[in-house]
Chains A and B, each alone.
Chain A
C-alpha cells in the first residue's frame, strides 16, 4: 500500500448501536453533565472557581456513550484529565508569551504522556489546550486547575457513570480500573 492508496480506507465501518444504547447514553450524559454544570453555575457562582470545562463534553461521549472503550475506562478518564491539566498549566506558565507554541506543546506533550502512562483519553488533549487558551478565568487558577475542575470534575462524572451505566442489565462499567 502506497501513501495515497492508504487514504482510500477500504475497511468497513462498525455497525450502528440500538435504540436502547442511545437512550442510556443520553440519560448518563445528561446526568453527568448536569452534576458538574450544576456545581459550576449554582454552587461556585461568583467565587471565581470553575467546575466545568469543555473537555467534559468529550468525556461524556466516552464514559456514557462508548463505555466498553479502553479510552472510556476510569484509569484513562482520571489519568488523562489530571496529567493533561498539569502539562497544560505548565505549558502556559513557561511558554504563555507565545500562545500558539504553548497550545501546541500542551496538546502534543499530553498525548505523548497519556500514551506512555496508558491513560490515553481524547478529552485530555482538550483539557491541556483549555489550560492555554481558556482566558483569564482559567489562567488565574494556576495549578488549582489540575485539582478543580480537572480532577474533581472527572471524579464527579465517574461517580455518575458508575451509578448510571450499571442500571441496565446488559451494560456494565468499568471494564477495568487500572
Chain B
C-alpha cells in the first residue's frame, strides 16, 4: 500500500543565482545586490499573490442556479432530485427558505452506518458481501434528519483566499453563499475554486 506523503508543499523559490542570470541578460550596470533584489522580489510577489487572492470574490465564481431542498423533504425525493441534477450535495432550507444545513452523499453514507468518513467503496464492499443492503436505514427519514448542521456558509464578498482556508479547515467540498437574510443565492464547489485559481495565472498582455 503506497501512501502519498502529505508533507509541506514548498513552492519553488527564486535563488540568487537566478537573479544573477537575469541581471546578465539586462544591459547596463544594475545597482542592486542579488540578495537585495531577491528580498524585494519575494516581498512584491507575496503582495501580488495577496492582491490576486483578494481580487476574486465568491460572487464571481459561484454557481448561481442553486438547487436546494426543504428539511421536511423525504430522503427518497432528495436523492431523486440530486441524481436528476447530477450533483452530489446541496443546501437545505427551513422556514422562509433560510439555510439550516447542507446535505450530501456523505450524509447518506453516514446515516447508513459507514462511520464518520464514509466512502462509496465501503458501501460497495458491504453490499457485495451481504444480501441486505444498509440502504434500508434511510427509509422514512427526511433531509433534516441526516443533514450536516449548522451549515458553513459565506457571503458573496468573501475572497477566494478566505474560501480556500475555509475548505481546508472544515474538510468540506461545497460552500453555500447566502444573502443577508440567510437565503442561499449561490454555491462554490471545489471545482469552482480550482477554476478560479487557474485564471489567476493568466496575465494580461502588457
Contact at A170–B27, with CB atoms within 8 Å? yes
CB < 8 Å: which of A11, A20, A71, A72 contacts B27?
A20
Contact at B24–A66, with CB atoms within 8 Å? no
Contact at B35–A11, with CB atoms within 8 Å? yes
Shortest Cβ distance from residue B81 to the other chain A in the assembled complex, whole angstroms: 63
CB < 8 Å: which of A12, A68, A70, A71 contacts B28?
A68
Tell yes or no: A15 within 8 A of B by CB: yes
Within 8 A of A (CB), among B146-161: none
The residue of chain A having its C-beta at the shortest distance from the C-beta of B37 within the complex is: A14
| Size category of the binding interface on chain A | 10 to 19
In Å, the complex CA distance between A21 and B28 comes to: 6
Contact at A67–B28, with CB atoms within 8 Å? yes
Residues of B within 8 A of A117 (CB): none
Tell yes or no: A171 within 8 A of B by CB: yes
Tell yes or no: B23 within 8 A of A by CB: yes
Contact at A71–B31, with CB atoms within 8 Å? yes
User: What 1/0 mask marks residues of chain B from 22 to 65 whose CB sits below 8 Å from any chain A CB?
Assistant: 01100111111111000000000000000000000000000000
The residue of chain B having its C-beta at the shortest distance from the C-beta of A69 within the complex is: B31
Tell yes or no: B20 within 8 A of A by CB: yes
* Chain A, interface SS category: loop
The residue of chain A having its C-beta at the shortest distance from the C-beta of B29 within the complex is: A66
Tell yes or no: B16 within 8 A of A by CB: yes
Shortest Cβ distance from residue B51 to the other chain A in the assembled complex, whole angstroms: 24
Residues of B within 8 A of A12 (CB): 16-17, 19-20, 33-35
Residues of A within 8 A of B19 (CB): 12
Contact at B29–A69, with CB atoms within 8 Å? yes
Q: Which 7 residue pairs spanning A and B have beta carbons closest together?
A: A69-B31, A11-B35, A66-B29, A170-B27, A12-B16, A12-B34, A15-B24
Residues of B whose CB lies within 8 Å of any CB of A are 16-17, 19-20, 23-24, 27-35
Can you list 11 A-B pairs, Cβ within 8 angstroms, ordered by A? A11-B16, A11-B35, A14-B23, A15-B20, A21-B28, A21-B29, A68-B31, A69-B29, A70-B31, A72-B31, A170-B28
